[in-house]
């Protein structure tokens, strides 16, 4: 069997991936390793024979795909987070990461671990695969012609031993402090409406205008003056139905349909008049609605305000579904390939509007190879640029950092002329998952034999304790400083902690505890910076430690 797998690397890859995915779904105490289990299965297979490995290009390709797709999806949120309090949150996370780096140096001096193992401990205790990848790449580059599997062993040993506690330790910290401080997540959400995405439970209500002061008022002016976070879709005046655009004016006894969160809709209803017994959306004789896919590249990457749909298409968008979330659209909302939008227009115009957006599921499955290849090529070139370090050394962003930074910028730009940089939501997730699987399987297999040999020589317990210490100090510091000193809501703090760890499992646990959107906001705010910072700091550890 071993000979068969050695001679058939593709068979080996798919076998390791399949077993890893099965084990990754096993939950212990409500926590699972997820796709990271592929790494540990790879280590187990690689331990059987030193020749059980995949070609180097396999996991390099996986790494580039993984970080590039992360950057594309996180770019808009990252740059948006730098506004308002996002800068504060990112500085907090950066400060904690610098503390973790200093603690890693202290651990290095205390246990006498090698620089590669120390960098692996740093990456594993903070559960960051791109940081591990950047360290391996740096070691390979420095080794030159003397490259051997032993070169890869150090960081993988440190990462593998400390990774599980990097997940469990953070979850235990969240559980402990939310009980110690008696956190009421529901009360936090009610007192911090600006931190709610407001997209989980959209409702549609029809209101009759009965308040005299609303007679003759402009809808757009009312929204701006009162700060209503809603969308108006239909307006009925004297039995005539029309689209409720921002240019429309209200009259007494008009019926208007309002879409938004239940709380916001009730506020609008109270201001305009009273609820109407018959919803306008049930009358589809004149105006109708349809959900359509955004598959037209000419539309993707543009703001709704720039599309000016009421004037150009005689339609409005009342809801937008991206992934599993319903989003309330606004003028600044940028459409992405793969979005599903609910459009309201005249019945005879539905087909024209569908054609305008594309509405082709098949086209969404076809990736634009030109934009994908060009973006990753630029990222690889940026990754080759050497940056000087104190003492005469240099570091590069490499396969992990270069594509990530370029993808963040391209994801924020959305499009450049005719080139749409963003990928359809489903395609992005698929490529990301495939890329991460290729990387974890490749690194695990190449390091498995040396990993077991190294662990058999002792020192594993010291590495485990060191990683647990780094994880615990980092988690406690962020929660205490964020919640107790900076007065950041705990729901947002646990999201910042998940983002600092770049750990979806922690985010899932945090979301279960809060039952609101605050952890998602915190996670998206700091995830890109945390990833880039850990890549740079991990490489710096290898370069500076001896």
- The per-residue b/e assignment along 63-95, b for 16 or more CB within 10 angstroms, e otherwise, is bbbbbbbbbbbbbbbbbebeeeebeebbebbbe
Q: What does the pLDDT look like over 301-310, one tens digit per residue? A: 788 888 989 8
Q: What is the pLDDT of residue 334?
A: 83
Res 214 pLDDT > 60: yes
Question: Above 80 in pLDDT, residue 451?
Answer: no
More confident residue, 102 or 84: 102
pLDDT at position 390, please? 61
Could you please report the per-residue DSSP string of 52-88? ----HHHHHHHHHHHHHHHHHHHHHHHHHHTSTTHHH
Q: How large is the average pLDDT for residues 388-409? A: 74
- Answer yes or no: is pLDDT of 196 > 50: no
pLDDT of 121 higher than 90: yes
Supply the DSSP string of 327-351, one letter for each residue.
Answer: E---TTPBP-TT-EEEEEEEGGGHH
pLDDT beyond 80 at 485: yes
Residue 6, pLDDT above cutoff 70: yes
Confidence grade of residue 272 (pLDDT, cut at 50, 70, 90): very high
Question: pLDDT band at 109, cuts 50/70/90?
Answer: very high
d(CA 350, CA 490): 46
pLDDT value at position 459?
Answer: 65
pLDDT band of residue 476 (cuts 50, 70, 90) is very high
Question: What is the pLDDT at residue 395?
Answer: 64
User: Per-residue pLDDT for 225 more than 70?
Assistant: yes
Lowest mean pLDDT among 364-373, 447-456, 530-539: 447-456
How confident is the model at residue 29, as a pLDDT? 63
| Model pLDDT, residue 454 | 63
User: ∠ CA(96), CA(178), CA(165), 5° rounding?
Assistant: 55
Q: Determine which of 68-82, 275-289, 364-378, 466-480 has the lowest per-residue pLDDT on average.
A: 68-82
Least confident of 30-34, 36-40, 539-543: 30-34
Q: Model pTM greater than 0.75? A: no
Q: Which of 257-261, 366-370, 473-477 has the highest mean pLDDT?
A: 473-477
| Nearest one of 394, 506, 354 to 141, comparing CA atoms | 394
| Torsion angle of the four alpha carbons 420, 423, 425, 430, in this order, in degrees rounded to the nearest 10 | 170
pLDDT of residue 126: 93
Q: Report residue 165's pLDDT band, with 50, 70 and 90 as the boundaries.
A: confident
pLDDT, position 198: 40
Do residues 500 and 526 make contact, with C-beta atoms less than 8 angstroms apart?
yes
Look at residue 199 and tell me whether its pLDDT is greater than 50. Answer: no
Q: If you average pLDDT over every residue of the chain, what do you get?
A: 83
With tokens 């996991």, the residue in question is 59
Residue, of 59 and 224, whose pLDDT is higher: 224
CA-CA distance, 295 to 304, in Å (whole number)? 15
- Compute the average pLDDT of residues 484-511: 85
Q: What percent of the chain has pLDDT over 90?
A: 25
Q: Which residues contact 315 (CB under 8 A, 6 or more apart)?
A: 243, 309, 343, 344, 345, 349, 353
167 token code pair: 């997940």
Can you tell me the distance from the alpha carbon of 339 to that of 335, in angstroms, rounded to the nearest whole number? Answer: 7
| 320-335 residues labelled b (16+ CB within 10 A) or e (exposed) | bbbeeebbbbeeebbb
- Taking residues 395-404, what's their average pLDDT? 75
* Helices 56-81, 398-413: crossing angle, 10 deg rounding: 40
Pairing of strands 325-327, 394-396: unpaired
Q: Which segments of 60-193 are extended strands (E)?
A: none
**Which whole-number Å values give the CA distances from 25 to 31, 63, 165, 507, in the listed order?**
9, 22, 17, 16
* pLDDT of 504: 65
Mean pLDDT of 225-253: 89
């Amino acid at each position: 069997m071993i000979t068969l797998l050695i001679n058939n690397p593709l068979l080996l890859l798919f076998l390791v991936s399949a077993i890893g995915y099965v084990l990754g779904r096993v939950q212990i105490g409500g926590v699972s390793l997820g796709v990271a289990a592929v790494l540990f299965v790879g280590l187990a297979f690689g331990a059987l024979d030193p020749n059980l490995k995949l070609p180097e290009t396999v996991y390099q390709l996986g790494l580039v795909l993984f970080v590039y797709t992360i950057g594309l999806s996180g770019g808009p949120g990252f740059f948006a987070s730098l506004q308002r309090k996002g800068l504060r949150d990112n500085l907090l996370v950066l400060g904690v990461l610098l503390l973790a780096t200093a603690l890693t140096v202290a651990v290095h001096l205390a246990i006498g671990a090698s620089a590669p193992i120390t960098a692996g401990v740093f990456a594993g205790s903070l559960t960051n695969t791109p940081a591990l990848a950047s360290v391996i790449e740096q070691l390979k580059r420095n080794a030159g012609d003397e490259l051997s599997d032993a070169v890869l062993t150090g960081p993988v040993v440190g990462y593998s031993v400390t990774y599980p506690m990097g997940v469990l330790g953070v979850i235990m910290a969240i559980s402990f402090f939310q009980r110690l401080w008696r956190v009421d997540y529901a009360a936090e959400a009610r007192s911090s409406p600006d931190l709610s995405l407001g997209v989980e439970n959209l409702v549609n209500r029809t209101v009759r205008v009965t308040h005299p002061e609303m007679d003759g008022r402009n809808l757009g002016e009312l929204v701006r003056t009162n700060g209503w976070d809603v969308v108006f879709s239909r307006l009925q005046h004297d039995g005539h139905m029309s689209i409720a655009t921002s240019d429309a004016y209200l009259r007494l006894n008009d019926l208007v349909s309002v879409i938004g969160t239940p709380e916001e809709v009730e506020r609008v209803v109270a201001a305009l008049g009273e609820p109407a017994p018959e919803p306008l959306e049930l009358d589809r004789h004149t105006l109708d609605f349809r959900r359509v896919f955004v598959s037209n590249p000419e539309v993707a990457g543009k703001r709704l305000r720039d599309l000016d749909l009421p004037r150009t298409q005689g339609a409005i968008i009342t809801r937008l579904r991206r992934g599993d979330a319903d989003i309330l659209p606004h003028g600044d909302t940028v459409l992405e390939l793969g979005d599903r939008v609910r459009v309201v227009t005249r019945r005879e115009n539905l087909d024209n509007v569908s054609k305008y957006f594309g509405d082709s599921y098949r086209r969404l499955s076809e990736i634009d190879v030109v934009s994908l290849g060009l973006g990753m090529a630029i990222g690889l070139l940026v990754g080759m640029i050497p940056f000087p370090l104190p003492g005469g050394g240099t570091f590069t962003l490499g396969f992990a950092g270069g594509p990530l930074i370029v993808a963040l910028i391209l994801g924020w730009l959305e499009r450049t002329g005719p080139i749409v940089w963003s990928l359809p939501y489903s395609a992005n997730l698929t490529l990301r998952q495939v890329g991460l699987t290729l990387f974890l399987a490749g690194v695990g297999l190449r390091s498995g034999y040396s990993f077991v040999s190294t662990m058999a020589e002792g020192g594993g317990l010291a590495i485990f304790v060191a990683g647990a210490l780094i994880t615990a100090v980092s988690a406690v510091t962020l929660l205490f400083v964020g919640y107790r000193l900076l007065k950041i809501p705990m729901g947002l703090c646990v999201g910042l902690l998940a983002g600092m760890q770049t750990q979806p499992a922690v985010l899932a646990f945090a979301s279960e505890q809060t039952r609101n959107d605050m952890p998602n906001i915190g996670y998206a705010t700091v995830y890109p910076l945390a990833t880039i910072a850990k890549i740079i700091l991990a490489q710096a550890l290898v370069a500076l430690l001896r």
